[in-house]
Chain A
Amino acid sequence: MSRILELKDIVLRFGGLTAVDHLSFSIDKGQIIGLIGPNGAGKTSAFNVISGFYRPTEGHVEFEGANLTGLPPHEVCKAGISRTFQNIRLFQNETVLQNVMVGSWVRQKSRWWMSLMPPLFPSFMREERAIRARSLELLARLELDEHADDLASSLPYGAQRRLEIARALATEPRFLLLDEPAAGMNPNESKELMLFIRRLRDEFDLTILLIEHDMKVVMNVCEYIHVLDHGVLIASGTPDEIRNNPSVIEAYLGKAAGKGADHA
């Protein structure tokens, strides 16, 4: 398997606070990787570094061999990385279909001014039709097609999460960052989510890095897990290794619990 993403010695400081401290790991193509850690461990900060919202104080990010460090978010997206947000961020006043179509913008070849007089530019109209068709197909694959013409804000919670993922997929990523996809879901829904994440990886040929607090989801769906605490990578391993790693248990539950506890 080939390496797709590599973090090299990432340091992220906000004034005196070190959010991410010399973080290095690499991810192979086609894997589903978990990034876990207690609140404030720097997981979302790491996401923001990868997706271009924060420029790391030190270190760099490599994606498919190219250096991504310091690129703005839209360039990172163009390079093939997409993400979702911890608190769902949809385009509330647009329809479900429009939300997904926005995702296609980054791959759209027509120029904006062609939209002023579409009949003059047959290629533009063809592309617009293709984007609409492709977006509808994507919605169908994620079982959102019946809502295509509804406002995004009118969807039920679970569907909003799915829509956020659908929108991310519309940018044709090869690497997907999911920030707490199971947040606010009941056990049944998270079970469905696990199957869904695997299906995503297989059907869309993705590599997935996810932050999650729901240990059931993490342990079941991830093939490899990185654990952060206070911005430092304290452990990496398969779910079984992580489950039994004393320093992980300590980070989550405190020192005394580190001895003898058998699940995190």
Chain B
Amino acid sequence: MSRKIRNGTLTLLALALFACFLNWAPSNLNGYVLRILNLIAINAILGLSLNLIYGMTGMFSLGHAGFMAIGAYVSALLILSPAQKEAMWILEPIAPWLLNLQTPFLVSLILAGLVAALFGWLIALPILKLGGDYLGIATLGFSEIIRILITNLTPLTNGSLGLKGIPAHTTLWMSYGCLGIFLVCMVSMMNSNFGNVLKAVRDDETAARTMGVNTFRIRVLAFTLGCFGGGLGGALMGNLITTIDPRMFMITQTYNLLMIVVVGGLGSITGSVIGAVLVTTMLEWLRFVENPIQLGSLSIPGIPGMRMVLFSVLLIAVIIFRREGIMGMREFTWDWFFPSRKKLEKNSERGGEGL
């Protein structure tokens, strides 16, 4: 019991500290750093939602960019003012019913998640009968279909011109608030028996069915929940960057998320958060290799795209030397800092039971 109180206190302290940071940051850090901090939170949400699908329930999905796109567009279309919309649709007129549709930001966020979840549910029903690589291919195809639909449904989406002037609603408090709620829900879920069932479906579907688990239903459920996260993350992203267009949601977007999940550890919530921090900052930090570099008398011209090459090398290194990712399937717990005699050797192989 004292352990529980200690850990609870530490969690509260950490949260308070972080809240102070969030209060301090906007007026003291420059816009570039703030954007990266926001991106970390958004990528963490996206990584967690992909981890729920891939790491926790074992469904290899390559469709997350598609669900992000749905979320980003739904949210943007719901918060742009009629005047903005009228000015933006120059190729074809906007669909009349859409023109005057406007909701507050938070409503648009939730609707973005729900619409993405609805699409996720609809495609889950036919394709989740597939397993393994086939599922990956099917979801990849779906994500491309979404992108092409968005490019061509001009009356709804303004086609390849994209949407501009989206109000920048994604502040640090907003993105980390969403991440916080998402984290709490996901940790509670994974610590409950429902979480055990998800992992059971991943580990051995046949055995899970014998144990009375309707595995198809569970897989559809997990996929739909993951898609909700994808839509939410996409919506936050759109409101951070303030312009969206179909090219933002190419397969590379899914790869970045996949990288976050794999580097952090498939099946670890902590891992996805760590992965989001690492991958997001690395992607930015590695930009220096694309600038011309002067090493003494040697001058290397900047090569655009070089950071992705380096990044891929890093990813390969992770796969070779630490296949299970940074965290494996373990979770963070304060007990790490207080090794008790009894649990000492046990914890080293299995980790604790979450926050």
- Measuring CB to CB, which residues of chain A are less than 8 angstroms from any residue of chain B? 51, 53, 72-74, 77-78, 82-83, 85, 89-95, 98-99, 101-108, 112, 115-118, 124, 128, 131, 149-151, 154, 167-168, 170-171
Smallest beta-carbon distance B31→chain A, Å: 34
Name the A residues within 8 Å of B206 (CB-CB).
Answer: 53, 85, 89
Decide: B192 and A115 in contact? CB cutoff 8 A.
Answer: yes
Tell me the complex Cα distance, A124–B192, Å. Answer: 10
Smallest beta-carbon distance A128→chain B, Å: 6
Q: A93-B203, A115-B189 are in contact. Are A102 and B346 (CB under 8 A)?
A: no
Decide: B203 and A92 in contact? CB cutoff 8 A.
Answer: yes
Decide: A171 and B211 in contact? CB cutoff 8 A.
Answer: yes
* B window 297-355: CB within 8 A of A: 329, 346, 349-350
Q: A93-B199, A94-B199, A151-B350 are in contact. Are A102 and B204 (CB under 8 A)?
A: no
Decide: A73 and B195 in contact? CB cutoff 8 A.
Answer: no
User: B200 is contacted by which of A102, A116, A150 (Cβ under 8 Å)?
Assistant: A102
User: A93 is contacted by which of B192, B197, B212, B267 (Cβ under 8 Å)?
Assistant: B267
Tell me the complex Cα distance, A103–B350, Å. Answer: 22
Decide: B196 and A94 in contact? CB cutoff 8 A.
Answer: yes
Q: A89-B206, A94-B196, A150-B350 are in contact. Are A117 and B212 (CB under 8 A)?
A: no
Q: Which has the most chain A C-beta neighbours within 10 Å: B188, B195, B200?
A: B200
Which A-B residue pairs are the 7 nearest by beta carbons? A106-B212, A77-B212, A115-B192, A89-B207, A91-B203, A73-B209, A116-B185
A-B contact pairs, 27 of them (CB 8 A): A53-B206, A53-B209, A74-B209, A77-B209, A82-B210, A82-B211, A89-B206, A89-B207, A89-B210, A90-B207, A92-B203, A93-B199, A94-B200, A99-B200, A101-B193, A103-B212, A106-B212, A107-B212, A118-B188, A128-B192, A128-B193, A149-B350, A167-B211, A168-B210, A168-B211, A171-B211, A171-B212
Tell me the complex Cα distance, A117–B200, Å. Answer: 22
Q: Which has the most chain B C-beta neighbours within 10 Å: A51, A95, A99, A170?
A: A99
Smallest beta-carbon distance A174→chain B, Å: 14
Q: A91-B204, A117-B188, A118-B192 are in contact. Are A105 and B199 (CB under 8 A)?
A: no
At the interface, yes or no: B208 with Cβ under 8 Å from chain A? yes
Tell me the complex Cα distance, A92–B204, Å. Answer: 8
Tell me the complex Cα distance, A115–B208, Å. Answer: 19
Tell me the complex Cα distance, A144–B206, Å. Answer: 23
Name the B residues within 8 Å of A151 (CB-CB).
Answer: 349-350
Q: A89-B204, A115-B195, A150-B350 are in contact. Are A77 and B211 (CB under 8 A)?
A: yes
Tell me the complex Cα distance, A82–B208, Å. Answer: 11
Decide: A74 and B207 in contact? CB cutoff 8 A.
Answer: no
Decide: B193 and A74 in contact? CB cutoff 8 A.
Answer: no
Nearest B-chain residue to A177, judged by Cβ: B210
Nearest B-chain residue to A151, judged by Cβ: B350
Q: Which has the most chain A C-beta neighbours within 10 Å: B189, B203, B206, B346?
A: B203
Given A82-B210, A82-B211, A150-B346, list of 16 further CB < 8 A pairs? A53-B206, A72-B209, A73-B209, A77-B210, A77-B211, A91-B200, A92-B204, A94-B203, A98-B196, A99-B200, A101-B193, A101-B196, A105-B213, A115-B189, A117-B184, A118-B188
Decide: B211 and A106 in contact? CB cutoff 8 A.
Answer: yes
Name the A residues within 8 Å of B199 (CB-CB).
Answer: 91, 93-94, 98
At the interface, yes or no: B23 with Cβ under 8 Å from chain A? no
Tell me the complex Cα distance, A128–B184, Å. Answer: 17
Q: Which has the most chain A C-beta neighbours within 10 Å: B184, B189, B194, B211?
A: B211
Name the B residues within 8 Å of A116 (CB-CB).
Answer: 185, 188-189
Name the A residues within 8 Å of B184 (CB-CB).
Answer: 117
Tell me the complex Cα distance, A118–B194, Å. Answer: 12
Tell me the complex Cα distance, A23–B188, Å. Answer: 48
Name the A residues within 8 Å of B38 (CB-CB).
Answer: none
